[in-house]
Copies of this chain bind each other. A is one copy, B any other.
Amino acid sequence: MKKARADSWQGYWTTKIGWAEAGKILVRGYRAEELIRHLSFAEAAYLVIRGELPTRAQARALDAVLRSGLDQAFISSAVPPARFAASAAPEAPAAAIAAGVIAFGSVTGSPRECAEMLAAAHRERTKRRLSLAEAARRTVGAYAKDKRRIPGLGHPVHKRVEPRAAALTEVAKTLGVWGKRAQLFDAVAREATRRFNHPLPANLAGVIAAVLLEIGFDPLEMVGLGVLSYLPALIAHTTEEIREGHPLRIIPPELGARYAGPAERPLPARHAKRRAGRA
């Protein structure tokens, strides 16, 4: 823990991102009005998060990543919490969106885990001058040994091809940003398919991880970018729920609810004998 000594409280909230004072806003050193006039959203988002302007190809690749989430209806762990919350608290649509954002964790197909795997494998490859195939073999081998799922591969619904993953890969190749780390991802997918003897197609989180690594993002930042690519879906579902949904949604037995706890039982005598309300 960095020590915040009494005399240093004045710099307690130091940021390199932006600054505002009367009539003037700087973002990473640039005037806000200039950015709004001359950049695209993808360029501005890159600048705000990374601190420097992207190249044209980087900006286009980021735009492609952001538009790849789109929507998959209820094949998502994030849309249902947003809709349950909106059905119960329609007066707070941003909070309902937040309930969905919370669900972007380690299991949801956040790009972070795959990016960390690829970054580590790439460092190892560079250090030991390994071929793509050999680096992939080591990576897949390590996950197989620990019986861990390889992040970025496989999908519960799309068993052969994830259409969004395939389209984003194609766009990234067209833009010339499918570089060394992304090719390593391809090699990992091939090796996993070989080793486990069944197709393990790249999923969207995996391709996003590969592309974002190539255009300069670090894995921690990818969590939020994954959220951003899904935000239009969360907005659409939240507003659809508030306008046309069911107030106070539940999960009834007809939709999967079941009780597997103890059968009905009486309170033990030592409790049941207490005078009601005087516990």
Contact = CB atoms under 8 A, between A and B. Distances in A.
A11 B258 contact: yes
Interface residues of A, number: 156
B41 A67 contact: yes
Given A24-B163, A99-B81, A92 B92 contact: yes
11 contacts: A2-B247, A13-B74, A15-B74, A15-B257, A22-B160, A23-B160, A36-B64, A49-B235, A74-B257, A95-B102, A171-B276
B94 A271 contact: no
Copies of this chain, count: 4
In the A-B complex, the 5 residue pairs with the smallest Cβ-Cβ separation, listed nearest first, are A89-B105, A224-B235, A29-B262, A18-B71, A95-B95
B91 A91 contact: yes
Contacts of A220: 93, 239, 242-243
A94 to B, nearest CB: 4
A44 to B, nearest CB: 4
A78 B66 CA distance: 22
Interface in A69-91: 70-78, 80-85, 87-91
Interface of A is mostly: mixed
A250 to B, nearest CB: 5
Contacts of A25: 70, 72, 163-164
A237 interface: yes
B89 A18 contact: no
Interface in A214-270: 220-221, 223-228, 231-240, 242-243, 246-252, 254-268
A104 interface: yes
Interface string A166-193: 1110111011000000000000000000
A206 interface: no
B41 A251 contact: no
A42 interface: yes
B259 A71 contact: no
Interface string A131-166: 000000000000000000100000011111101101
A40 interface: yes
Given A224-B231, A277-B60, A81 B85 contact: yes
